[in-house]
Amino acid sequence: MSERVVILSTGEELLTGETVDTNSAWLASSLWDLGVQVRSMLTAGDDLPGLVRAVGSACDQGSVVICTGGLGPTEDDRTAEAVAAWAGVESSESSEALSQIERRYRTLGREVSTANRKQAMLPGGATVLENRWGTAPGFSVQHQGSTIFCLPGVPVEMRNMFQAHIAAALSTRESPTLVRMRTFGVAESRLQAMMDGVDLDGADLGFRAHIPEVQVKLRFPTGTTEADRHAVVRRVSDVLGEALYSVDGGDLAESVIEALSQEGETLSLAESCTAGMTSSWLAEVPGASAVLMEGVVAYSNESKVRSVGVDAEIISDNGAVSKPVAMALAEGIRTKANTTWGIGITGIAGPGGGSEAKPVGTVHLAVSGPSGTRHQTAVIPGDRNQVRIRAAGAALALLLRCRG
């Protein structure tokens, strides 16, 4: 297939700003990883004439169109109708699609309603794309040299269906090799500046910022030798330095669980401003039970004293958001839980509570381990949730650095 790909997202809620179009961003990133360039991204509402024009415009620009949304059972779900109009064919009930819908509803213990049968109305000649993650089948249609793939707008369904039905079709016979280098603590603009002048030996350079990390992506041309690829990765690793925490590995939580489990080490956490976010992130990783022993949400000063054993005088003398309190949290929880490592986090997530001396976003982190306790502080930008996410990431990154 040609690599002239256009992404078309549909839905009135995208045009009003009610919903953020994360599907197009994810698809663009996934296609880049496959070595496929996106020509353009379009957005259309739910009115049929406008949707037909959008489908035609997308197919004029690219020989492959990936369309998301508008496959539901309601009257404003018109993607199939619009594609049929563009292709100049009639829509009809697909027995294959209906069978998939019925099978899906049986597993849910429900009957297929008249509205749900609408999801089986597809353009004549369409190829059905099975949806094993939801109730709306996808489909593809070929017309006038273009192929349009239509997927549900629900992100988890769209992503799984893309991987199951489209990724292999778009991959070249010899796909480029992608190396993903994960960094923490350095902004994307700074990473770009750091990479200036680095010899990438023909590799394409890309970045993906996803709080709390930024990924540096290297896409090597087909035929690049392993030795040449490793040489480039070494050069980039030297430039990234301590900001780099993983090459082709998992995120911060996955990296911590993997590193600690390999050595039989354990971890406990005492979290104030992050309120258990770090513990929850770690618990999402399979195998976390071998590492994560205990997590305490010590939000109030009383909880810090009662649940973690922080000396009340340390809090009264320094304030809850301070280096001594963060270190006491890390040391206290490590002692109470009898773990290899202890993490303490305290800060001001906002939007209120800040002062000139301790502005909103001030966070103190500490990691206590076999060789002592290490502290780090920062004023983290962003809204309340971003401060908490970045603080959680900073704590895990600090733990990885403490381990060497």
Q: Mind listing the pLDDT tens digit for each residue in 308-319?
A: 999 999 999 999
Question: DSSP string of 97-163?
Answer: HHHHHHHHHHHTT-PPPHHHHGGGEEETTPEEE--SSSS--EEEEEETTEEEEEE-SSHHHHHHHII
As for how many domains the chain has, the answer is: 3
- Kindly report, residue by residue over 323-338, the tens digit of the pLDDT: 999 999 999 999 999 9
- Domain boundary residue, one of 226, 247, 268: 247
CATH code at position 393: 3.90.950.20
pTM, two decimals, is 0.75
Looking at the structure, tell me whether residues 257 and 242 fall in a common domain: no
Q: Are residues 155 and 211 in the same domain?
A: no
Residue found under tokens 């039970």? 289
Whether 200 and 330 map to the same domain: the answer is: no
Task: Print the domain residue range for 226.
Answer: 177-247
Q: Which helix (H) or strand (E) holds 343?
A: strand 341-347
Among candidate residues 107, 136, 170, the one where a domain is terminated: 170
**Does residue 182 share a domain with residue 156?**
no
Mean pLDDT to the nearest integer, 248-272: 97
Question: Does the pLDDT at position 2 exceed 50?
Answer: no
Single residue among 116, 141, 170 that ends a domain in this structure: 170
Same domain, 122 and 268: no
- Of 31-45, 66-80, 116-130, 183-197, the range with the lowest mean pLDDT is 31-45
